[in-house]
Structure 1
């Protein structure tokens, strides 16, 4: 962050002049638009997406159309106007005006159902041939802070109606504009996911962005592609890196992974994880086993739990209804498999998403009853566990990618963001998962698989993370403090001390346009 502090008003004036100059050097504007998601009222989010859209204007000639939640989000509105957008749609304001008979029909289909049947029917919902039930599901559990869906209550009904309204609004928008591209910071939750899917089905390119100043971007060209995690490590990319650089790529990946678990994976402060923070204690195998009362020689399965209400269906083609159902099946198998010590680790951010302590309480109760079930202390550095675990279990957790680089087998309960890269086990059904979990202590990784995992780590944690020079390195999670004056000061500094060609992200966007690649890579 910059030591300089700037007012928002001064920043907007400087931004207007900066982009007027930049636009005069870009491609000639066409009749086509890039629609940009500015629907989260946090400067790191909406400014980062807007910069990507501006670079698409400069490289493709697209005019920018901004999506902002409400006309009351005045800073997002003024920022958009300072970039010279062609127009703005206030999504929540407009969606609140809609009314559709489609919603009434769906409500009738779900009424008088609960638990398993309700979840089954909800997840099967499609509108105009586009699956949307998962978007309603994830919006509901996130907004209500619940860990699963058990009843068709008024909140669920309201989020269903709102999704139908988004469909109507976006159908009208996509019909009125010739949309060449969409820029999104989410592909889950109703107001984002509906747009991504409708735009992709209509033939627009969808650019997904994940991160702050250091951002990961992929270009998606189909409905199937946008119904995926926001960033996927592609097996073909791993193949290409290994073919081009061989042992060198593996060694670089090893160094990247070591930086990651050391708490300083790259130059972007706010991409580093709290779970690997240097001030968290790291214990040896002997120290950990002594603390937990474990025998060092017994196999140990580490189950890395998710934040239960955070984007449950982010991974495509889920074999479970949600993270909670996965957790219950995993715990059930663990109780019956007494040849393994099972270590359940809560997600470090779970308390930010839900107040429901049922999973922790359930594990603690079983730990009192069964000597092989354990709840891992929350204070430990995650770097403790690669030496402790015989295998790791998750759905989409980054730990599976990381631990595989240390030779620890990974069993996934879903199509995680690195599945298919050659070092994971990803069952295709609940029955297959339960069987694989019961036998997981026999899993082993070959040296070739570990090598692929190391290259995948380097791709995810270094090569696919591109610096946006204009975006200050700042906190962008909702629970961390944000110094707004310093943020705007950093943006003004960047605009006053360089030109577009100095921005690695601009160079990478030019490179991406000239290739058929899906993944944007940082310029070397």
Structure 2
């Protein structure tokens, strides 16, 4: 009999144990008390808004199981109810996997989500001796990244989660005491997560899974286990504007693709549709309006409190030489999603950035702008971590002071990223969304990694780091984009920003313009029957049954 079974049995039959655990945390943790009080307020607000109108459920316990990862927070419960209803309509029996927060569980019941489990119910503790034995064989970050346990890339997920926790960029130094201790803890958790997943699969035999963040523990381990078994994983992410989400279904064939990458089927269809002036204008308006409203990727507050300025004013404020072309470097956040997608030409995002700025420093024939990722600011506030960003530290370590021909736009600048494209001739990124934005505006984009939009006919891609650095060394000799390349880029952008995103009509959700981009949600349906017949829910169910990789809204 497994530890997981015993834990699940205890939770179901002796719930008072949870009560003891709760009150111990309440007594000892001020942050837990603050969260609990916030949850009470949020739950009362939710109950006053929806009453008992959504306690109903159409779940068929004899249907195939769908495991849906939730957040265990009242703010996200409405979204999870909508997702569960879509899976029910598609013929699945949804089981929510979420942390056991007291009022979140009450909110789930209020919403008719009675089948809620926690990974803790199926967690098996790994002995310290076994963990130390494994870690003893791992001397370098490369060893860690390559460590696989029964087909699950636990080393990669432990490394990603360690980097996120430590906010350490570049290669993890396993000879450093603090780093090695955190890696040890995360490796233990990753191994336990993999075993937990096996226990859950044995108990529920799921036929599909839903999650949001497949690159960190415990989601990555469950993702791998699903793919091993041929179980599709649906990944849900926020879109570029509030009120919209993006779905992607994963299998072994596309496991390294970014969630915004277009599938071959989607891209083939986009290349075949007539490219009209109306579609070009719709794309232009979508991007401009979302930036102007400060809603562009508001999930992480990328354009909150920024403004669009004209290129003359921006050029003057940065001191750009009007006789030179301008290259813009868009670094990724070094410690976030570092090992998630595709293959990189460089060891990691920091190494790429450092190599690029070395070449930039030696090339005075161009203006250079470094645009620090704007999501740094919200992530700082969410994590309650402040100080210089890792990109700035990397600049100081690599170059000391920036030479006059390289300008820096910090994360918290009030200048909209939209304005930066007006002065750019070249865009440098590994695989960031900025590459799509730049290319559809006719800006030559050089990629340094796969898994997103590379090799689709509108970017300059390299097969080796040597080839990439050679191109970078003669950047000003690379010709401008052709009309055919620009059209391809616009078609791809149209697919990314107008076809793939799904507006949710059944619920409202938006991210605030506060320091943490706080999520707020509301129900647009009167009762469960109305929710079940809402167009967004019906469309989601149809897509789930289709087997397609991408959920798309094709123009009529």
TM-score (norm 2): 0.80
Residues 22, 500 of structure 1: 8 Å contact kept: no
Higher relative contact order (CA 8 A, sep 6+): 1
Q: Which runs of 4+ in 1 moved over 6 A?
A: 13-16, 265-270
Note the C-alpha offset of 1:46.
5.0
Distance 1:201 1:16 in 2: 42
Q: Which residue of 2 aligns with 1:349?
A: 375
Distance 1:275 1:421 in 2: 26
Q: Which residue of 1 aligns with 2:117?
A: 89
Confirm or deny that 1:51 pairs with 2:82: yes
Q: How many residue pairs align between the two structures?
A: 498
Note the C-alpha offset of 1:54.
2.8
SS across alignment from 1:425: coil
Of 37, 61, 64, which residue of structure 2 is paired with 1:32? 64
Of 507, 510, 523, which residue of structure 1 is paired with 2:541? 510
Distance 2:121 2:182 in 1: 19
Render the CA deviation track for 1:355-397: whole Å, top value 9, x for unaligned. Answer: 4435325536848463333223533221222221111011232
Q: Which residue of 1 aligns with 2:173?
A: 150
Note the C-alpha offset of 1:473.
2.0
Alignment of 1:449-464 (within 5 A): 449-464=485-500
Q: Which residue of 2 aligns with 1:360?
A: 392
SS across alignment from 2:282: helix
Mark the CA change 1:321 to 1:44 in structure 2 (over 3 Å): closer, same or farther.
farther
Distance 1:460 1:448 in 2: 18
Q: Which residue of 2 aligns with 1:166?
A: 193
Distance 1:150 1:254 in 2: 49
Note the C-alpha offset of 1:423.
1.1
Query: Tell me, which stretches of 5 or more residues in structure 1 are unaligned?
Result: 1-5
Q: Which residue of 2 aligns with 1:226?
A: 255
Mark the CA change 1:102 to 1:49 in structure 2 (over 3 Å): closer, same or farther.
farther
Of 332, 335, 346, which residue of structure 1 is paired with 2:358? 332
Residues 300, 342 of structure 1: 8 Å contact kept: yes
SS across alignment from 1:207: strand
Residues 65, 207 of structure 2: 8 Å contact kept: yes
Q: Which residue of 1 aligns with 2:230?
A: 203
Residues 89, 541 of structure 2: 8 Å contact kept: no
TM-score (norm 1): 0.84
Note the C-alpha offset of 1:140.
0.8
Render the CA deviation track for 1:207-243: whole Å, top value 9, x for unaligned. Answer: 1100163100011232x52343233223542331231
Confirm or deny that 1:315 pairs with 2:341: yes
Mark the CA change 1:467 to 1:221 in structure 2 (over 3 Å): closer, same or farther.
same
Alignment of 1:88-487 (within 5 A): 88-92=116-120, 95=123, 97-99=125-127, 103-110=131-138, 113=139, 118-148=140-170, 149-151=172-174, 152-211=179-238, 213-222=243-252, 224-244=253-273, 246-248=274-276, 251-263=278-290, 271=298, 274-276=301-303, 279-284=306-311, 286-351=312-377, 352-353=379-380, 355-363=387-395, 366=399, 368=401, 370-376=403-409, 378-441=413-476, 442-475=478-511, 479-480=515-516, 482=518, 487=521
Mark the CA change 1:344 to 1:198 in structure 2 (over 3 Å): closer, same or farther.
same
Mark the CA change 1:336 to 1:264 in structure 2 (over 3 Å): closer, same or farther.
closer
Mark the CA change 1:347 to 1:21 in structure 2 (over 3 Å): closer, same or farther.
same
